[in-house]
Amino acid sequence: MTEEKMEVKCPVCGREMEVSKVGVLYGAVAGKPRATSTYKDKTYYFDSKACKKEFDESPEKFIKG
């Protein structure tokens, strides 16, 4: 059985990453993202702690729509 992956994009720098769907279900991120934040019931993935910090300080700046 192969592990399903999903593509995500860091909302701060735009870098694309791959995340394990199984890992997401169980709260573990198996892939390249180094940090996550939850904002308005949605999980956002970041390629660095610096991007997470910038997002956490002003999330509306990075959310489209």
Number of domains within the chain? 1
**Residue 32 pLDDT > 70:** no
**Residue 38 main-chain phi, psi, to 5 deg:** -115, 130
One-letter identity of residue 35: A
Is residue 65 a part of any domain in this protein?
no
Residue 27: pLDDT band (50, 70, 90) is low
pLDDT at position 43 is: 92
> Which residues of 1-65 form beta strands (DSSP E)?
5-9, 16-20, 35-39, 42-46
Poorest-pLDDT segment among 9-18, 22-31, 40-49? 22-31
In a domain, 29, yes or no: yes
In a domain, 55, yes or no: yes
Q: Is residue 45 part of a domain?
A: yes
* Residues in Cβ contact with 48 at an 8 Å cutoff, skipping those fewer than 6 apart: 10, 13, 34, 35
pTM above 0.95, yes or no: no
Asked if the model's pLDDT at residue 53 lies above 70, the reply is yes
**Domain span holding position 23:** 5-60
